[in-house]
Structure 1
């Protein structure tokens, strides 16, 4: 017999996927959350959904470190780290007009040098 840890899980699969997708979306918007902020978010999410929680969650007003570790094991597509600062110039430089200009220039190069899908490689190339 093996232990069934799923019976002790706070969130079901759907709720956990909502939480994981939210964390991914935050990271994509240059607003990654710290591990402590993720644990606090999980507590607030559980409280809002009237979930049964361990007493330590109520006392600390956040989920435990072990909960976060297991969340990351179950959802390997997310990684929670202390966010690094993104320069304002880099953040502002990633906008629709700049990206559109990049792809227009790329298309022009493809046409100029008659490049097709077979000419694309993973690393830098010499022209």
Structure 2
């Protein structure tokens, strides 16, 4: 009777109504089971996003999905529990170990898919070399991790080297270089809770430094890099730009993707890195792109 009353109040004729409209009304009317946060259309949009992420080698883990759902709920203005704001997540429960699609090996199928996507982007929007950028991150330890060779007396069996007593820390560095050889100032990420000016002493002009505790790129910091990238490349909606980057989960930030869309930036993911001996790739696959980028693949 409650459902019938709900249909009557909404002036819905069940004999002619759209199935999605009926499902939405039932979802809003029912009080059984766990309270839902998203409606049917929002759930479909989230599912479509997750599947698309998997197709471009950005498989999302369970914990990443929880964070993504929180960001999505904020973006669409959905009503969600207050603890989500404190945790910036769905819950504090430890996620089970799950396999991630980005653990797929670097193989011919993935490489073919990447170059098909690249060809599709360049076919729709021809880009000059200075509008094609490659971004990557690297770790810079504050103490040497590998001793360098030194000159010593011939025949001496042991050669000592004075090293720092400290263990050192790792500072992440994100850079972007265009196909024409231009580069943007470096983006440093320090393993500190609070950022201090002294960290950037003698840094190159235009360099930016942020701190997030871990010193590694995440979905909260990547939008800051995107703003840094946009500022120094002049990317805008009237001048298309392509940014090539690896398939790290932090690059799936909704805020970062919105920034890219607003400034005419196409994000294109490289295939996952290989962890086993790779078969030689057909040179013909790379031939159409000769001169645009240097391709290097190691076993």
TM-score, length-scaled by structure 1: 0.53
Matched, 1:60 2:60: no
1:47-104 deviation per Cα after TM superposition (whole angstroms, max 9, x unaligned): 11111111221111012378x9xxxxxxxxxxx74331431655214455xxxxxxxx
Where do 1:1-127 residues align within 5 Å? 4-5=32-33, 8-64=35-91, 81-83=99-101, 84-87=103-106, 89-94=108-113, 96=116
Aligned residue pairs total 85
What is the alpha-carbon root mean square deviation over aligned residues? Answer: 3.5
Q: Which runs of 5+ in 1 are unaligned?
A: 69-79, 97-127
Distance 1:53 1:23, change over 3 A: same
**Bigger CA radius of gyration:** 2
- Considering fraction of residues, name the structure with more helix: 1
* In structure 2, C-alpha distance between the alignment counterparts of 1:34 and 1:93, rounded to whole Å: 25
Shifted more, 54-63 versus 10-19: the winner is 54-63
* In structure 2, C-alpha distance between the alignment counterparts of 1:65 and 1:27, rounded to whole Å: 25
* In structure 2, C-alpha distance between the alignment counterparts of 1:65 and 1:89, rounded to whole Å: 39
* In structure 2, C-alpha distance between the alignment counterparts of 1:29 and 1:36, rounded to whole Å: 19
The 8 Å contact of residues 39 and 65 in structure 1, kept in 2 or not, is answered as no
Equivalent residue number for residue 297 of structure 2? none
Structure with bigger RCO (C-alpha 8 Å, 6+ apart): 1
* In structure 2, C-alpha distance between the alignment counterparts of 1:44 and 1:15, rounded to whole Å: 13
Q: Which runs of 5+ in 2 are unaligned?
A: 1-29, 117-299
* In structure 1, C-alpha distance between the alignment counterparts of 2:106 and 2:42, rounded to whole Å: 33
The 8 Å contact of residues 10 and 53 in structure 1, kept in 2 or not, is answered as yes
* In structure 2, C-alpha distance between the alignment counterparts of 1:15 and 1:52, rounded to whole Å: 13
TM-score, length-scaled by structure 2: 0.25
* In structure 1, C-alpha distance between the alignment counterparts of 2:47 and 2:92, rounded to whole Å: 16
- Considering fraction of residues, name the structure with more strand: 2
Distance 1:50 1:93, change over 3 A: closer
